[in-house]
């Protein structure tokens, strides 16, 4: 049986919020990689905010999409070494 849309939306919101709390930028300050890490984190936070906006306006499809996109930005940043993240658990695919 497929997951309920609202349950999945809530789960992905929590996943993104938790991942943002765990990701620590590791690029040397003042370098282009530091700028990239800041941009990746900003994108993830913006998608979290967007998802919450959609959720508040009873639009679970777009909320879930926003939470998923936000997590993808953060996960991609972790995979290319912009963030120090937990290597075990459910938050990242590294």
Q: What CATH number has the domain bearing residue 47?
A: 1.20.1270.90
Q: Distance (Å, rounded) from C-alpha 86 to C-alpha 65?
A: 24
pLDDT of amino acid 94: 63
Q: How do residues 34-91 score in pLDDT, each as one tens digit?
A: 999 999 999 999 999 999 999 999 999 999 999 999 999 999 999 999 998 887 767 8
Give a yes or no: residue 62 inside a domain.
yes
Pairwise pLDDT comparison (82 vs 93), residue with the higher score: 82
Q: Answer whether 20's CB lies under 8 Å from 44's CB.
A: yes
Asked whether residue 49 is domain-assigned, the answer is yes
Inside any domain, residue 92: no
pTM: 0.89
Count: domains in the chain: 1
Highest mean pLDDT among 23-27, 29-33, 66-70: 66-70
Q: 61 lies in which domain range?
A: 5-84
Residue 9 included in any domain:
yes
């Amino acid at each position: 049986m497929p997951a309920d849309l609202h349950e999945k939306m809530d789960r992905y919101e929590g996943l993104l919020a938790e991942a943002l709390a765990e990701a620590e930028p590791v690029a040397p300050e003042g370098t282009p990689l530091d700028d990239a890490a800041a941009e990746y984190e900003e994108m993830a936070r913006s998608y979290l905010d967007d998802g919450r906006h959609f959720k508040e306006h009873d639009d679970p499809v777009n909320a879930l999409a926003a939470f998923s996109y936000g997590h993808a930005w953060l996960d991609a940043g972790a995979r290319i070494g912009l963030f120090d993240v937990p290597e075990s658990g459910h938050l990242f695919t590294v």
